[in-house]
Amino acid sequence: MNSETTLEDSRIENFAVMPAPADIKGDTPLSTRAAATVAAGREAVRAILERRDPRLLVVVGPCSMHDPIACIDYANRLHALAAELSGTLLLVMRVYFEKPRTTTGWKGYINDPFMDDSFRIEEGMRLARSFLVDVAELGLPTATEALDPISPQYLGDLIAWTAIGARTSESQTHREMASGLSTPVGFKNATDGDVDAAINAIISSSRPHSFLGINRYGRTSIIRTRGNPHGHLVLRGGAGRPNYDSVSVALAEQALTRAGLAANIMVDCSHANSFKKPEMQPLVLADVGAQIRDGNRSIIGVMIESHIEAGNQAIPKDLSQLRYGCSVTDGCVDWATTERMLRDLAGTCDQALRKRIQVG
């Protein structure tokens, strides 16, 4: 055994070459309609953050995607609701392909699209891109979490809003990546509830960075970014405690102001804010709506975990036993509840949101 084999890749089983982003994009290109959907979605989110659009941003959809048939069914329903509520709410579909894991578990549709530990990542990336194109063709913008720093090269042209999760807001890699993303980016507070890491991430990602990555042709490159001016804070609770209440929101506003940042806050109705109990998400949203009705001006958006069926399910060995439209990760509210939540939110907030523009 020579020194090269003992000193390098000693724990690597093999390397499988991934097609370059340009190749996969070439196989599933954007149509004119899909490109217009993405561009309009991004501009609408930017306008909300810059207070040029009084509407509330709502990122809503399954905790994670595992069944494209059920998810396109969901997308069609959401598209119709988005048109109905478009005067008050900007609905953006949550489409999460990657799932961070505390220990082990299914890592998401890109990593293991067939949910059988075959880890056919190339096919997962192609299927993910194809799904995003289909949703954009409907005219519905999409949002995702940027977990793997390579994935945005394959999918970033189809995304209108990006989240950086509670576990990665402190990561230099993710802050650098966010500084170069073409979308507005929401940074979640840490899992212990602390907002400082997310605020530092907003500041860091607003600055130019230089770091290693790949270009559209798959070549290792030095990526130099301009900085992202549309970072904002996402409150998701932490350490078993919620932080969507008016006191927590006011404290977050003060922290953002001290840091010289715009007081732009999104509330995640799931995770610790609902104690991971999906049936409590409507209560969180109702409280947030009441805060806006009563004069809050910093809450610019909400997140909701929602699917066709309520709750969640374990992944069975026999995948034919999976329940249609039911999450395999965190529990979700069902579609009927989602409709009721969003119609109620629009009715509660409509007049107050219009006043935001009038007040200036």
The CATH superfamily label for domain 16-359 reads: Aldolase class I (3.20.20.70)
Q: Each residue of 78-104: pLDDT tens digit?
A: 999 999 999 999 999 999 999 776 666
Query: What b/e readout covers 21-56, taking b as 16+ CB neighbours within 10 angstroms?
Result: beebbeebebeeebeebbeebbebbbebbeeebbbb
Whole-model pTM?
0.96
Which residue in the block uniquely carries the two structure tokens 């396109």? 72
Q: What is the pLDDT of residues 238-271, one digit of tens each?
A: 998 999 999 999 999 999 999 999 999 999 999 9
DSSP state of 190: P
What whole-number distance in Å separates Cα of residue 195 and Cα of residue 262? 14
86 DSSP 8-state letter: T
* Strand 185-188 to 161-164 pairing: parallel
Which parts of the chain have pLDDT scores under 50? 1
Q: Is the dihedral of CA 198, 111, 152, 162 positive or negative?
A: negative
What pLDDT, on a 0 to 100 scale, did the predictor assign at position 101? Answer: 64
What is d(CA 134, CA 37) in angstroms, rounded to the nearest whole number?
Answer: 11
| pLDDT computed for residue 102 by the predictor | 61
Domain boundaries, the chain: 16-359
Residue partners of 107: CB distance under 8 A and separation at least 6? 98, 99, 101
Which amino acid, 188?
Answer: K
Of 131, 127, 156, nearest to 74 by C-alpha is 131
H/E segment holding residue 154: helix 152-155
Instruction: Give the pLDDT of residue 5.
Output: 61
Residue 3: per-residue pLDDT: 56
